[in-house]
Structure 1
Amino acid sequence: MNGVFENKKAIVIGGSSGIGLATAQILANSKAHVTVTGRDADKLKAIRETTNLRAQPVDSNDRAALDAFFKQTGAFDYLVISLSGSKGMGNFTELSLQDLRAGFEGKFWPQLNTLQAALPYMNNGGSITLVTAISSVAQKPGTSGLAAINGALELMVPVLAQELKPLRINAVSPGVVDTPWWSFAPEEAKQQAWQQLTGNIPAGRVARAEEIADAIVFTLGNSYLTGTVIHCDGGFSC
């Protein structure tokens, strides 16, 4: 992919930390002009002060704010939507359906909101990558709600590839990744969960955000890849 991103414009929605930020940094190192968005003003300020990335506050639940952001940004080439939430996990018999609804509000609807708002500004030959999660296919206890959220997004990808051509659209589905997504859990509980989740997978460990970002950048740059969901999960779904 030598030179494929040079002087191209890329936007990473949800790029103020974790997988999104790692993706933005790889793209910037490949000489793309990169803008990241987020809702945490402190994180965005730190990005502006310590990197060559543009950083702008945008709430992807707010369609008017998204429309204004993309209008201001203008035409661009690459879009990564790395938005998530921590709601929707748990055994179904005890799962609060209000929490599951909040899970859809935190990931499913903001991703679609962003995608619709961005489309009028994408250049021919552009590429889109959604970040989902391996819960969509892993069939693990306690993840039925997460499977519903991420599976819904992934089922749309091949259909959207037909509808949006010649734009390309793909998804990357990560497994267990060391990112701020886990900030809802105390450190001891997080480490215990990681040990349980990764003990039987071939990779035998939690992923780094940069490893998932590598897969995302591949989907953006490979001009023959569309309508595809790539599982970057260390074998978690085997």
Structure 2
Amino acid sequence: MSQHTALVVGGTSGIGLATARRLRDLGATVHIAGRGKERLDAVAVTNPELIGHQADGGDLVQITQVLEAIGRIDWLVVSLSGSEGPGPIAGLDLTMLRRAFDAKFWGHVTTVQAALPHLAPSGSITLLSAITARTGMPGTAGIAAVNGAVEALVKPLAVELAPIRVNGVSPGIVDTPWWSGLPDEARQAYFDQAAQVLPTRRIATADDVAEVVVMVATNANMTGTVIEADGGARLVSMA
């Protein structure tokens, strides 16, 4: 039985929740943090073994209170995201883009900073970016900048915080609630079209990516690395 403790910030749905479940399957004590009470309540019903905390990862006071309640952490996973950011640069709403940076980039930085006093020396930090940071898809300059900023944290922090390990995972198109803003038919049509282009010929599940997140979080020999778990999206044109 593992004696490890994990915290997944943004762990109430999608990749974050799938990661929390996988870490629990390894025997870890797993805490999840999320902003929405409804999602936390839903997880408490479906996965009562996960310990929920209502907190915004971008709020230093809230996330610090969660960390102080938990104590020592071995594995920190930051899976914060937001639906804002995409759009052609000519008409991109810059106020919206700032909100996107607040939600994801500043949320990652705030959570990491708050967690440092609580991380075990042999522990790890795993950040979630996205493949937009590594491709040339039209209409993604804003969100690519957000994800690129998250990825830019990995290498310097891996050296600065050593022996704590710092890694990132870069997902591609994943069937998660991130796409819930699209009508069902439109979302499925896009998935079908994308699957024909992707080298894997399929759309990833949250659990596909969570498997990679858990690997980098728990492997004692990995640090300063961003793993692409994108189905080959970076290799083809997704425009």
- TM-score tier by shorter-chain length is over 0.9
| Alpha-carbon distance between aligned partners in 2 of 1:171 and 1:23, rounded to the nearest angstrom | 14
2:28 aligned to 26, 32, 45, which one? Answer: 32
| 1:183 paired residue among 180, 183, 186 | 180
Q: 1:165 aligns with which of 153, 162, 165?
A: 162
Look up the match of 1:18.
14
Distance (whole Å) between structure 2 residues aligned to residue 219 and residue 66 of structure 1: 23
1:105-130: CA deviations, max 9, x gaps?
A: 11111111101000110011001100
| Inter-partner Cα distance in structure 2 for 1:68 and 1:190 | 38
Q: Counterpart in 2 of 1:218? A: 215
Q: Deviations over 1:63-103 (max 9, x none)?
A: 11111111111111000000000111011122111221111
Distance in 1 (CA, whole Å) between partners of 2:209 and 2:162 is: 25
Give the aligned CA root-mean-square deviation in angstroms: 1.1
- Amino acid of the residue matched to residue 8 of structure 1? H
**Is the CA contact (8 Å cut-off) linking 2:75 and 2:218 kept in structure 1?**
no
Paired amino acid for 2:178 = W
Secondary structure of the corresponding residue to residue 197 of structure 2: coil
- How many residues matched? 234
CA contact (8 A) 1:198 1:236 kept: no
Q: How does 1:79-90 map to 2 (within 5 A)?
A: 79-90=76-87
1:8/1:77 contact within 8 Å kept: yes
**After the TM superposition, which residues 39-118 of structure 1 pair with which residues of structure 2 at under 5 Å, given as runs?**
39-51=35-47, 52-118=49-115
Structure 1 unaligned spans of 5+ = none
Secondary structure of 2:228's partner? strand
| TM-score of the aligned structures, taking structure 1 as reference length | 0.95
Superimposed CA distance per residue, residues 128-179 of structure 1 (whole angstroms, 9 cap, x where no aligned partner): 1001100000111111111100011111210110100000000000000000
CA distance in 2, matches of 1:223, 1:61: 28
Q: Find out whether 1:149 has 2:170 as its counterpart.
A: no
Q: Deviations over 1:201-230 (max 9, x none)?
A: 101221000000000000011111100000
Name stretches of at least 5 consecutive residues in structure 2 with no aligned partner. none
Determine what percentage of the aligned residue pairs are the same residue: 44
**Larger mean Cα displacement after TM superposition, 64-73 or 19-28:** 64-73
Corresponding residue for residue 132 of structure 2: 135
Q: Which amino acid aligns with 1:70?
A: L
**TM-score relative to the length of structure 2:** 0.95
